[in-house]
Structure 1
Amino acid sequence: MTSSPVPSNTPGTATPSAEAAKAADPLDPVDSLILHATDNGVSWITLNRPEVMNAITPDQRERIIERLADASADPGVRAVVITAQGRGFCAGADLRGSASAGDRVAGDVARMIQRGAQRLIGAVLDCEKPVIAAVNGTAAGLGAHLALACDLVLAAESARFIEVFVRRGLVPDGGGAYLLPRLIGPQRAKELMFFGDAVPAAEAERLGLVNRVVPDGELTKTAREWAERLATGPTRALTLTKQLVNASLDTDRAAAFAAEAAAQEINMTTADAQEGVASFVERRRPAYRGR
């Protein structure tokens, strides 16, 4: 298990990131704000700024991107969980100081979004391991998009999702106008974005934003169960399936079918594919090894 430092967590809700790092010595200040631990093949990334509802600074954003890239490259990591400490999952980007940023050159804002929020969301979508969001509280703005970019979304009963951009006089960024219509259709997406009303967890599940809502005290347990189930699965097949599904909404049938056939051709060369077929023939449980 690898870890970075963390203060004590709420009783009964400690993630592996929190549990593993309590005794660690401080290294990088960002490591105390973006906690990390790898346990049973699962990389746990935990946002840890509860005093500001886990609003993300540029340094924190870069660390999350690094952790996701590390997960893709590490054969010992076979699933990822993104969660947070405290009452909020993520209040979005930390905007303090941005209003007094002074004169801007044309294109500065676009470059900032492309290099910042969009890179973060892209890192989740492109991660080569399945990513679960365990949403423990309010997910607003970029924080909502961070959760919705994940492959599976678990939400505590107290969680809420809020599209705050238009309420602040802003256009949705961080992939919001890309993600939401694909999840719930354009009409519902525009309703959420235009009005910016808080969507409770149960309603988010009904709309299709969330896979499952669980009691607050069971969120970490359920996330662990789901992640460890993925971590014992055929990793390469999961990766290729993720890529096929994510690409399917941006392509036509012919291209999607061609990609599917190519993915199966690649996957059939893996040891896990051979094990899956052999276990079926031999009528036993498969023992996947992630390769």
Structure 2
Amino acid sequence: MSEPFALYETRGRIAVVTLNRPDTRNAIGEHSDCTDLVAAIERANADPAISVLVLTGAGSAFSAGGNLKGMRDRNGIGPLATPADTRDNYRRGVQKIALAFAGLEIATVAAVNGHAIGLGCDIACLCDLRVASDAAKFAASFVKMGIVPGDGGAWILPRAIGYANAAEMILTGDTYSAAEAKGMGLVNRVVPADQVLDQALALAERIAVNPPRAVRLAKRLLREGQHSRLADVLELSAAFQALAHETADHKEAVEAFLDKRPPQFTGA
């Protein structure tokens, strides 16, 4: 039996998920690939001991996106026999990945170790933060193949890099270097290729040292703020703050600050 597409491991309060098909540059071609990734995402989210998920790829690429051979042969996660079948195929395949990321309450960091193309680029952009190899390339190259972002990219990219930059990427299908990606806000930082995962983990650790419940509540507020009115976010913020004030970690943070000592958070 082959290894799952998404390998899962924990490092303290950090879950590391690795896309594990280096022979195909971590292309996503089968429904089992989608299922494995969704399962890993949901596993991390369901674990109260986890505050951050770091997503990376095995081998030389983060993810080459969809599998073109599967598209040609009309099997896997793309086109099937009829348009109706194809529509359903997208809804029960790659779109489940986008919905799983949207439902996360933990923070996410993409360690983009290599090329992130098409679906691979959109998956990286579903993460809150992105650390990229200086050799990485990014493209929303769907139009180059005569198709559109069936994975939700038209929603994902504008929220990550703004409408104008997203329109340029999606409508041209061009490929961008890591430096260009940083210039348009697609990545937070660019680092040498051999430091990508270490730097992503270091960033994740800066998040994970904070009280876990506060991190989850803050992440949910950030997500809600992307599509809600200010008045609605204010109401939700007041409700979340009322919960946060009653946590043991909040009390510990205040006491530690006043006592001038490092806090000891327990997640309670």
Using structure 1 for the length normalisation, give the TM-score.
0.85
2:55 corresponds, among 75, 82, 86, to 82
Give the 5 Å matches for 1:1-291: 28-31=1-4, 33-56=5-28, 57-101=30-74, 104-291=81-268
1:68 and 1:192 map into 2 onto residues whose CA distance is 27
Contact in 2 for aligned 1:30/1:63 (Cα 8 Å): no
> Which is worse superposed, 71-80 or 237-246?
71-80
Q: Given residue 144 of structure 2, which amino acid in structure 1 is its aligned partner?
A: R
Q: Given residue 33 of structure 2, which amino acid in structure 1 is its aligned partner?
A: Q
From the superposition, tell whether residues 171 and 290 of structure 1 become closer, same or farther in structure 2 (CA, over 3 Å). same
2:245 and 2:180 map into 1 onto residues whose CA distance is 40
> Which is worse superposed, 198-207 or 133-142?
198-207
2:84 and 2:244 map into 1 onto residues whose CA distance is 42
Contact in 2 for aligned 1:30/1:60 (Cα 8 Å): no
From the superposition, tell whether residues 115 and 287 of structure 1 become closer, same or farther in structure 2 (CA, over 3 Å). same
Contact in 1 for aligned 2:51/2:216 (Cα 8 Å): no
2:131 and 2:220 map into 1 onto residues whose CA distance is 21
Contact in 2 for aligned 1:163/1:197 (Cα 8 Å): yes
1:153 and 1:207 map into 2 onto residues whose CA distance is 13
Contact in 2 for aligned 1:232/1:289 (Cα 8 Å): no
How far off is 1:45 after superposition?
A: 0.8
Using structure 2 for the length normalisation, give the TM-score.
0.92
Q: Which runs of 5+ in 2 are unaligned?
A: none
SS in 1 for 2:17: strand
1:263 and 1:108 map into 2 onto residues whose CA distance is 42
How far off is 1:105 after superposition?
A: 4.2
2:247 and 2:234 map into 1 onto residues whose CA distance is 21
SS in 1 for 2:55: strand
Post-superposition Cα deviations, 1:77-118, rounded to whole Å, max 9, x if no partner, equal: 222111011111001122433333387345322222222112
How far off is 1:133 after superposition?
A: 0.4
Contact in 2 for aligned 1:30/1:59 (Cα 8 Å): no
From the superposition, tell whether residues 149 and 103 of structure 1 become closer, same or farther in structure 2 (CA, over 3 Å). closer
Overall identity of the aligned pairs, in %? 37
Q: Which runs of 5+ in 1 are unaligned?
A: 1-27
RMSD, aligned CA: 1.7
Q: Given residue 8 of structure 2, which amino acid in structure 1 is its aligned partner?
A: H
SS in 1 for 2:109: strand
Post-superposition Cα deviations, 1:127-175, rounded to whole Å, max 9, x if no partner, equal: 2221110000100111101101001111010111111111111111222
Post-superposition Cα deviations, 1:1-34, rounded to whole Å, max 9, x if no partner, equal: xxxxxxxxxxxxxxxxxxxxxxxxxxx5243x42
Contact in 1 for aligned 2:6/2:40 (Cα 8 Å): no
